Structure 1
Amino acid sequence: MQIENSERLRYEPVTEEDAQLLFDLNQDPEVMRYINGGKPSTMAEIEDYFIPRIKGFSNSDTGWGLWKVNTLASESDLGDTFIGWILVRPMDFYTDEPKHSDLEVGWRFTQASWGKGYATEAAKAVCKALVVHASVIEKPITHFSAIADPANKGSINIMTKLGMEYIKNTSVDTPEGEVEVVLYSMAV
Structure 2
Amino acid sequence: MTELRTDRLILRRWQDSDLEPWAAMNADPEVREHLGDLLTREQSDASVARFQTEFDERGYGWWALEVLATGEFIGFAGLDQVDDGMPFTGVEIGWRLARSAWGQGYATEAAVAGLAFGLEALGLPEILAVTTATNLRSQAVMRRIGMTRDPADDFDDPAAPEGPLRRNVLYRIARGTKM
Q: Residue type matched to 1:69 in 2?
A: L
Cα distance in 1, alignment partners of residues 55 and 33 from structure 2: 29
The correspondence for 1:149, drawn from 132, 142, 148, is 132
Question: TM-score, length-normalised on structure 1?
Answer: 0.78
Q: Aligned with 1:35: secondary structure?
A: coil
The equivalent residue for 1:131 is 119
Q: Which whole-Å CA distance do the structure 1 matches of 2:72 and 2:15 have between them?
A: 17
For residues 158 and 94 of structure 1, what CA distance do their matches in structure 2 show?
25
Deviation readout 1:108-161 (Å, 9 max, x if unpaired):
001111111100000101221233322xxxxx3011111111111100000001
Whole-Å Cα distance in 2 between the matches of residues 117 and 18 of structure 1?
21
CA RMSD in angstroms, aligned pairs only: 2.6
Deviation at 1:82, TM superposition (A): 0.8
- 1:91-170 paired onto structure 2 within 5 Å: 91=82, 93-95=83-85, 99=89, 102-134=90-122, 140-167=123-150, 168-170=153-155
Q: Which residue of 1 aligns with 2:174?
A: 187
Tell me, in whole angstroms, the C-alpha distance in 2 between the residues paired with 1:170 and 1:164. 17
2:75 corresponds in structure 1 to 84
Aligned pairs for 1:163-178 (under 5 A) are: 163-167=146-150, 168-174=153-159, 177=161
Gap change, CA 1:173 and 1:161, over 3 Å in 2: same
Percent identity between the aligned chains? 26
Aligned pair in 2 of structure 1 residues 153, 80: CA closer, same or farther (>3 Å)?
same
Kindly indicate whether the alpha-carbon contact (under 8 Å) linking 1:84 and 1:109 is maintained by their aligned counterparts in 2.
yes
1:137 maps to none
More strand as a share of residues: 1
**CA gap 1:96/1:156 in 2 versus in 1, 3 angstroms:** closer
| Structure 2 residue corresponding to 1:54, chosen from 36, 44, 51 | 51
Amino acid at match of 2:25: L
Q: Give the match's secondary structure for 2:124.
A: coil
Distance between the aligned counterparts of 1:68 and 1:52, measured in 2? 12
List gaps (5 residues or longer) in structure 2.
none
What letter matches 1:54 in structure 2?
Answer: F
Deviates more, 1:103-112 or 1:20-29: 20-29
- Partners of 2:14 and 2:52 within 8 A in 1: no
Q: Residue 76 of structure 1 corresponds to which residue in structure 2?
A: none
Q: Is the contact made by 1:13 and 1:65 (CA closer than 8 Å) also made in structure 2?
A: no
- Look up the SS of the partner of 1:119 in the other structure: helix
Aligned length: 170
Corresponding residue number in structure 2 for 1:21: 21
Q: Give the direction of change, closer, same or farther, for the CA distance of 1:53–1:59 in structure 2 (3 Å limit).
A: closer
Q: CA 1:55/1:80 → structure 2, altered by over 3 Å: closer, same or farther?
A: closer
Paired amino acid for 1:172 = D
CA distance in structure 2 between the partners assigned to 1:185 and 1:114 by the alignment: 23
